[in-house]
Homo-oligomer: A and B are copies of this chain.
Amino acid sequence: MLTWIRPTPEERAYIRAMGDRLIEAVERTGVAKAMMVGSVARDTFVRGDRDLDIFMLFDPSLSQEELQEKGLSLARRIAEEFGAAWREKYAQHPYINATINSLDIDLVPCYAVTSATRIKSAVDRTPFHTRYIKAHINGYVDDILLLKQFAKAGGVYGSDHMTEGFSGYLCELLIIHYGGLHQLFEAAACWEPGITIDIEEHGTKQFSEPLVVIDPVDPERNVAAALSLSRMFEFVELVRGYLEAPSEAFFCRPTTPPLTREAFIRLLGARGTHLFSVTFATPDYTPDTVVPQLRKSAESMRVLLDRNGFPANRIDVSMQKDRCMLLFELMVDEVPTICRHIGPPVWSPENARKFFAKYIHGEVFAGPYIEDGRYVVELPRPFTRAVDLLRSGTLLDIALGRHVRRSMEGGWTVDVGAGCWDEEFAGFISQFLERSSPLVRIRRAMRE
């Protein structure tokens, strides 16, 4: 199996040679040192990966503005020297992304600090990670490659906000800590939330995340901070499934084609639930900025819907190039006119008096009456249909992410049931309706 995961010698030689040429070009200018970081530098890249990361290390005495100006100018110069198509991008600070011979190359300016605890921005830490892994990787390259491919196939690879899974660095540390892939699997099968790994035994802080892996180059950082409880235990589930019945299938991402529109309508009808989509223009920021805002906004809307009598079975979000979609599967789409409003206990005289005075002459359907010693009144609801609530301005009164709010202020669309189908989101909608754990997908793929 490793034969198709491991890069070919030609592939490796080519990508490393390109890296060396870029480093030489940077250092020739005398403006900064340069180093390869990431999986190419560590020899832990999987066949077909086309990512090459070159960090340009500047003097820490430069100001942020100087670093940005000098860094970008140098990166542009290098890209042009290589005849590359390039574009400016932003993570914590700007960098240049260039394409040379189908390689996807990032040229990232950072500070050459003396220790990972002295970093001025997150990118300064990366060179330390690369040095640490290179110093400890001895003999584990194949295990790391297998683990990365296993995590990719299971859909739990990537520490971006959409995935909330395992980063490459986390995979490398886990293999180093447990001493190999099999040893990691045996241990992970018994993981519980809150497990802590501290290779250098130098951790000083308490973390609340489900998996805590203290960064060997920074005792105050949890390398697994981005890993969600769900992704962590999807990995555990995959590991147990693999140990029970090892198979190459665990290293191949099952390709489930999206539903057709007809199949979607049939499936939704069988479920009998009420599907609602909220779509709007994608804010012009990176997924790592936008996706958490989509999640937050969808969660606020779920709470709003629930408070208005429309409980959700599930919600999910998707960010595509032009539009974002929030999807709500509701158990109820229409509710009665009345809703209960529970007031104070009658033994709280001042509150009870106010409540009584407010509703005795008000427009109520029933009450005030006393139930278990508390006042209750039955009032008309502002919204009896979920679609009216989702289309109302109320949606802008709740906690949305900043960029999501700005986009929605320009308008949003609410679709209902079969009307939610949208070719741009076909994969997302299909996975939403047919949701299952990675092991279920792999087991089903194996049966076919």
> Which residues of A pack against B, CB within 8 Å?
189-193, 210, 229-230, 232-234, 236-237, 240, 270-274, 309, 313, 331-332, 335-338, 340, 345-347, 349, 352-353, 356, 360, 365-373, 375, 378, 384, 433-437, 439-440, 443
Contacts and interface: CB of A to CB of B under 8 A. Distances in A.
Contacts of A434: 366
Most buried by B among A240, A336, A370: A370
B270 A346 contact: no
B273 A336 contact: yes
A233 B346 contact: yes
User: For chain A, what secondary structure do more than half of its interface residues adopt (helix, strand, loop), or is it mixed?
Assistant: mixed
Contact of A437 (B313, B367, B435, B440): B367
A233 B271 CA distance: 46
Most buried by B among A237, A353, A437: A437
A349 B189 contact: yes
A298 to B, nearest CB: 15
Given A270-B337, A356-B439, 4 more contacts: A232-B373, A233-B345, A271-B365, A369-B436
A22 B443 CA distance: 88
Contacts of A356: 237, 439
A271 B335 contact: no
B338 A233 contact: no
Given A237-B346, A240-B353, A336-B331, A230 B370 contact: yes
B309 A366 contact: no
A445 to B, nearest CB: 13
A373 B336 contact: no
Contacts of A440: 360, 367-369
A230 B433 contact: no
Contacts of A234: 370
